[in-house]
Amino acid sequence: MKGKYGERCGQSNDCCSWRKSARGYRSGASYLLNSTRRRMARGKKRKHRPAPAARGEAGPKKDARDRDDGWVDSLTNARFDAYYKLQGIVPDDEWETFSKTAATPLPVTFRLAGSRIIGQEINNIIREVHIPALSGMVVDGVQVEPPKVIPWYPGGLAWQFNIEKRVLRKSPEIKKFHRFLVYETENGNISRQEAVSMLPPLFLDVEPHHKVLDMCAAPGSKTAQLVEALHADDLTLGSSTPSGFIVANDSNHKRAQLLVHQLARLPTPALMVTNLDASIMPNLLDPQRRPIHYDRILCDVPCSGDGTTRKNPGIWKQWAPANGIGLHGLQVRILVRAMKLLDHHGRIVYSTCSMNPMENEAVIATVLKSNSDFELVDVSDRMPDLVRRPGMTTWKVANQQLEVFDSFEQYSELTKNKSRTKGAPLTAGHFPPEPKDAEALHLERCMRVYPHLQDTGGFFVAVLRKKADRIPPPPKPANATVKEEPASLKRALSAEPAVEPEAKRPKLDAPVDVPAEPTTDVAGATTAEPSAAPTPVSSEDNTGLLPSKPPKEITFSENPYTFLGAENEVIQECIKRLSLLPSFPSDRVFVRNPTGQAARALYMCNEQVKTLILTNDYQKIRLVHAGVKILEKQDAASFVSFRILEDGVAPILPFVEPDTIFNADLDVLKILIMEYYPAITKFEEPYKTLFEKLELGNALVRFEATNTPDATLTHSVILPLWKSGVSVCLMIDKKSKSALSFRVFGEDITPLGQKLREQAEAKAAAAAEDGEDAAPDVELQDGDAEVDMEAAVGADVPIEGVAPETSVNVTVET
């Protein structure tokens, strides 16, 4: 989505609001009111004037400097250069290389789902099929570099590919590889993600039994990595339900919904998605009314994003020192809240895509000085192939005009008599610690990644944990007395503007202040309350505090979560018709509708997620999604039944009677892929007779690993099937069929693939006649690009009451 500053930022138009707020701009309402007053004082009246075209005139030509079309005229910023040279983030002899790299486009990077057996298969296909096909290729005199492995990513499952669109248009081999990536991406087996964005989840060390919190999760690339880590046992067991869970949170409701769509590519019963302000994240309660503490917390906080200039060139146009200064307080509050939510043996990873020490080391130093229970973890021995720089132990603090202040006292003295200051005000937390304190804090254990080191974006990562010698206090009841914050931290936080929207994401829902211990608000839920009323700081006065109205309560309208129970008639009917074992966890099946009846779909979650849903008020914790959809009602001609969805196969499979799964060969799979509803008469024996004898309704079919001259399947696959009167249908969506076709048969033989080929051939023929290049038939979208929140649903073509799996188009993130 294009913001006012032109970058393809993947955020809503609110992305401009947080930048203005961080730089000290007034809110829209007050600004409009004051501008009206100024016009009235000048005696001027704004008149409506028709557009030039409506008046029959030619509109004036805009100068390139005035255009607002998203283009950036210069990939430089004098203040950016001056500020970071002042900070000395790289040695002088590296500055030119750093500066040039930061202004060049990023290469395409993607990773494979490490928790899926199919991930290894796709990796082998890339190595054995596509790399040889792309090696040594020359297009229009340009040597095409084949994809190369990102050396530091575990298992060699991440790749980098430098390719220009004009080359993509002219090479059938590259088009084929591109289409292969697109289908596997939409199927959840590949994630398009910036290389440095892959780092935080790797340092979090998530295991299947962990309780995990992702505080600022949207758009979801890092959350997807956490899901994969939670399902690590799938590699050995084929299918597993982890005992741990992930709470993925985002403060903006639309982005929380985007998160749900993105994570639908990696369905898991161990997921909860919430829509809360991360800086005052409420406690979840266990059945004994004790607050839940997490084993792992990811704080990928809102930031100014100046490490992303290679993919968001609009940052060059609007960069200013105040961008990072204004976000410091919000970042501190989120990290402080994470520390309170962490278990005694837990780990926090704090990360930003910014290079500004105001958002990085200054935040870490502020919280560590006020909380002696935590320490930075030395991870310099991890990922030895990752080229990184240590954290900064000191830095310069400058205002919007790049005036440098040696201490907060000096800044306060120079500005105390000024009624107005440009940009966000400075606080004590922005200034570096004394040398002896910096040594004790070990800020050098933080990690800085710069664009020129390994052809990436800029990034910052810090790993924190509770010290081993600290004995955890006994659990407190939910209504325990709140402990006062340390005075130094309260001063650091209270001096920050309270109205600071999220930078990396859209703005926060409400003003926040110092987070306090949560207190019980209603039965079954807790809410975190600020220690004092929000007190926004005026952008015109960096010392005076202005009173503010209480924040508006945001309406939350989501359907409830109703568990059906083992005795439910629908559950009993599903167990009978789908041949499920008595051990099937019926008590973990729920519906989401106002009536609490099994109307259209059934969902499943694991035991911990079920407990959290039952113990906490879903409205108070703003729960927008949980678990995975496993069954959907299918209205057939003569009966009504629930069928197993593609996403439901993995969680249901351990409870299916083994004898009810029948085997088929790749010839059967080919027919099922080539046609949506192949007639039973098209299959050779013995499958023709098998399908004829099969009962109407749902079935599961297993395709064993096979290697033939025409097809290769490296591991067995179990897929849902629907039998009607005279035909059968493979119940997976169209994109999944295309991805499966590429893996097994080396090309897309689906009806969709055939249509795309015909369109591409027609386009190429037309382009040849016009002497132009044909455009690629499929585009691999950047993951931070706009996601259609009303995801397109593939048209259902019912035959004898059968509706194929709906197809949801979700753009992948970086």
* Catalytic annotation, residues: 353
How do the residues of the chain divide into helix, strand and coil, expressed in percent and rounded to 5?
35, 20, 50
Q: Are 316 and 74 in contact (CB under 8 A)?
A: yes
| CA distances in angstroms from 768 to 79, 292, 297, 606, 761, listed in the order given | 48, 64, 55, 56, 10
- Coil/strand/helix, residue 493: helix
Structure token digits, residue 450: 């710069």
Structure token digits, residue 238: 């084929």
Cα–chain-centroid distance for residue 254?
Answer: 13
What is the largest distance, in Å, between two alpha-carbon atoms of the chain?
92
From CA 508, how far away is CA 471, in angstroms rounded?
35
Residues 6+ apart with CB under 8 A from 497: 21, 326, 329, 424, 425, 536, 537, 539
Q: Are 343 and 295 in contact (CB under 8 A)?
A: yes
Ramachandran angles phi, psi of 373, nearest 5°: -75, -15
Annotated binding site: 216-222, 250, 277, 300
From CA 302, how far away is CA 216, in angstroms rounded?
8
Count of CB atoms situated within 10 Å of the CB of 797: 11
**Is the CA virtual torsion 740, 744, 747, 750 positive or negative?**
negative
Q: Are 780 and 161 in contact (CB under 8 A)?
A: no
Helix axes 117-125, 734-745, angle to 10 degrees: 60
From CA 128, how far away is CA 255, in angstroms rounded?
38
Phi-psi region of 578 (alpha: psi -120 to 50; beta: other; left: phi over 0): alpha
Cα–chain-centroid distance for residue 227?
Answer: 11
Ramachandran angles phi, psi of 533, nearest 5°: -65, 145
Structure token digits, residue 24: 């000290």
Residues 6+ apart with CB under 8 A from 590: 561, 562, 563, 564, 602, 603, 604, 605, 610, 613, 627
From CA 658, how far away is CA 647, in angstroms rounded?
19
Which residue has tokens 């895509």? Answer: 353
Annotated binding site for S-adenosyl-L-methionine: 216-222, 250, 277, 300
Q: ∠61-67-68 over CA atoms, to 5°?
A: 140
Kind of pairing between the strands at 142-143 and 138-139: antiparallel
Is the bond into 154 cis (omega within 30 degrees of 0)?
no
Give which of 27, 19, 18 is closest to 540, Cα–Cα: 27
From CA 123, how far away is CA 131, in angstroms rounded?
11
Q: ∠772-774-777 over CA atoms, to 5°?
A: 165
Residues 6+ apart with CB under 8 A from 50: none
From CA 102, how far away is CA 307, in angstroms rounded?
8
